[in-house]
Structure 1
Amino acid sequence: MSALRLLTHPLGREVTGGVVKTSLNRFSAQCTSVAARKLSTHMSCQKCLTLDNLNPNIKVMEYAVRGPLVIRAAEIEKELKEGKKKPFKEVVRANIGDCHAVGQIPITFIRHVLALCAYPELLKDPKFPEDAKAHARTILQGCRGGSVGSYSDSPGIEIIRRHVAEYITRRDGIPANFEDVMLSDGASNAIKVILKLLICECEGKKPGVLIPIPQYPLYSASLAEFDMEQIGYYLDEDSNWSLKTEELERAISVGKTKSTPRAIVVINPGNPTGQVLERKNIEDIIKFAHKHNLFLLADEVYQDNVYAPGSAFHSFKKVLIEMGAPYNEMELASFMSCSKGYMGECGIRGGYSEVINLEPEVKKMLNKCISAMLCPNTIGQATIDCVVNPPKEGDPSYATFIKEKQGVLSSLAERARMVTETFNSVEGMSCNTVQGAMYAFPRIHLPQKAIDKAKSLNQDPSVFYAFQLLEETGICIVPGSGFGQVEGTYHFRTTILPQPEQLKSMLKTFKTFHQKFVQEYK
Structure 2
Amino acid sequence: MQGAIHNSTSRLVTSLTQLVRPSRTARTAGLRPFLSAKMMAGDTEGDQPRRTKVLTMDTMNPHIKLMEYAVRGPIVARANELEKQLEQGASKPFNDIVKCNIGDAHAMGQRPLTFLRQVVALCTYPKLLEDPSFPEDAKNRARRILHSCKGGSIGSYSESPGLDVIREDAADYIQRRDGGIPSNPNDIILSAGASEGIRCVLKLLVSGKGKERSGVMIPIPQYPLYSATLAEIDAIQINYYLDEANAWGLDVAELQRSIDKARTHCTPRCIVVINPGNPTGQVISRSNIEDVIKFAHREGLVIVADEVYQDNVYAKGSHFHSFKKVLTELGDEYSNQELMSFHSTSKGYMGECGLRGGYCEIINLDTEVKTQLFKLISAKLCPTVSGQAVMDVVVNPPKEGEPSYETFSEEKAHVLSTLAEKAKIVAEAFNSVEGISCNPVMGAMYSFPRIDLPQNAVNKAKEVGKAPDVFYAEHLLEEAGICVVPGSGFGQRPGTYHFRMTILPSVEKFKDVMERFKKFHSSFMARYKDED
- TM-score bracket relative to the smaller structure: over 0.9
Structure 2 residue corresponding to 1:348, chosen from 347, 352, 355: 355
SS of equivalent residue, structure 2 residue 354: helix
Contact 2:118 2:134 in 1 (8 A): yes
Which amino acid in the other structure matches residue 239 of structure 1?
N
Match of 2:121 among 98, 115, 121: 115
What is the aligned counterpart of 1:416 among 408, 416, 423? Answer: 423
Residue 179 of structure 1: aligned partner: 186
Is residue 43–residue 49 contact of structure 2 (8 Å, CA) maintained in 1?
no
Match of 1:335 in 2: 342
User: Which of the residues 380, 396, 421 maps onto 2:403?
Assistant: 396
Partners of 1:480 and 1:491 within 8 A in 2: yes
Which residue of structure 1 lines up, in the alignment, with residue 140 of structure 2? Answer: 134
Mapping of 1:41-440 within 5 angstroms? Answer: 42-173=48-179, 174-201=181-208, 204-440=211-447
Matched with 2:29 is: none
Contact 1:335 1:353 survives alignment (8 Å): yes
Q: Which residue of 2 aligns with 1:507?
A: 514
The aligned amino acid for 1:240 is: A
Equivalent-residue separation in structure 1 for 2:82 and 2:281 (angstroms): 29
CA contact (8 A) 2:211 2:265 kept: no
The Cα offsets for residues 6-50 of structure 1, whole Å up to 9 and x where unpaired, read as x9xxxxxxxxx9xxx9xxxxxxxxxxxxx8995756532221110
How far apart, CA to CA, are the structure 1 residues paired with 2:43 and 2:61?
34
**Aligned-residue CA RMSD (Å):** 1.9
For the 8 Å contact 1:202–1:260, the answer to whether it is kept is no
CA distance in structure 2 between the partners assigned to 1:276 and 1:193 by the alignment: 26
Describe the superposition over 1:341-378 as per-residue Cα deviations: whole angstroms up to 9, x where unpaired: 00000010100000111111111101111111100000
Q: Which amino acid aligns with 1:466?
A: A
> How far does the alpha carbon of each residue in 1:111-159 deviate from its partner, in whole angstroms, 9 at most, with x for none?
0000000000000001100100001000001100100000000000000
Q: Secondary structure at the match of 1:211?
A: strand
- Could you tell me whether the CA contact under 8 Å between 2:238 and 2:262 is conserved in 1? yes
For residues 336 and 494 of structure 1, do their structure 2 counterparts lie closer, same or farther at Cα, with a shift above 3 Å needed?
same
TM-score (norm 2): 0.91
Q: Secondary structure at the match of 2:54?
A: coil
1:123/1:489 Cα in 2 relative to 1: closer, same or farther (>3 Å)? same
CA distance in 2, matches of 1:247, 1:40: 66
Cα contact 1:322–1:328 (8 A) shared by 2: no
SS in 1 for 2:268: strand
1:90-110 CA deviation, whole Å, 9 max, x = no partner? 110000000000000000000
Shift of 1:398: 0.7
Letter in 2 for 1:220: S
The alpha-carbon deviation at position 253 of structure 1 amounts to 1.0
Tell me what 2:453 maps to.
446
Q: Deviations over 1:383-420 (max 9, x none)?
A: 00000000011111111100000000000000000000
Contact kept, 8 Å, 1:271 with 1:439, in 2: the verdict is yes
Q: Is structure 2 residue 502 aligned with structure 1 residue 495?
A: yes
Match of 1:13 in 2: none
Q: Deviation of residue 325 (structure 1)?
A: 2.0
Q: 1:202: how far off?
A: 6.2
Alpha-carbon distance in 2 for matches of 1:334, 1:419: 29
> Aligned partners of 1:43 and 1:150: how far apart in 2?
47
Q: Which amino acid aligns with 1:89?
A: N
Offset, 1:483: 0.4
Q: What secondary structure sits across from 1:86 in the alignment? A: coil
Cα deviations across residues 420-441 of structure 1 (Å, max 9, x unaligned)? 0000000000000000000000
Give the 3 Å change call, closer, same or farther, for CA 402–41 of structure 1 in structure 2.
farther
Instruction: Write the letter of the residue equivalent to 2:480.
Output: T
Amino acid at match of 1:129: P
The aligned amino acid for 1:271 is N
| Offset at residue 256 of structure 1 (A) | 1.1
The question of whether the paired residues in 1 share the 8 Å contact of 2:230 and 2:236 is answered with yes
Indicate the residue corresponding to 1:31 in structure 2. none
| TM-score for both structures, normalised by structure 1 | 0.93
Residue segments in structure 1 that go unaligned for 5+ positions in a row: 1-6, 8-16, 22-34
CA change 1:41–1:89 in 2 (3 A) is farther
Matches of 1:499 and 1:508 in 2, distance apart?
14
Partner Cα distance (1:183, 1:101) in 2: 25
Q: State the shift of 1:464 in Å.
A: 0.2
Are the aligned partners of 1:203 and 1:260 in contact in 2 as well (CA < 8 Å)? no
- Counterpart of 1:483 in structure 2: which amino acid? F
Question: 1:189 & 1:269 partners in 2: Cα distance?
Answer: 19
Separation of aligned partners in 2, 1:211 and 1:38: 51
Q: Residue 330 and residue 38 in structure 1: after superposition, are their counterparts in 2 closer, same or farther (change >3 A)?
A: closer
How far residue 205 of structure 1 moved from its aligned partner, in angstroms, is 2.8
Q: Between the two proteins, what is the percent identity of the paired residues? A: 61
CA distance 1:480–1:203, shift in 2 (3 Å):
closer
2 CA distance for matches of 1:187 and 1:405? 21
The AA in structure 2 aligned to 1:125 is: D
Matches within 5 A, 1:451-462: 451-462=458-469
Identify if the C-alpha distance between structure 1 residues 179 and 81 changes in structure 2 by more than 3 Å, giving closer, same or farther: same
2:105 partner amino acid: C
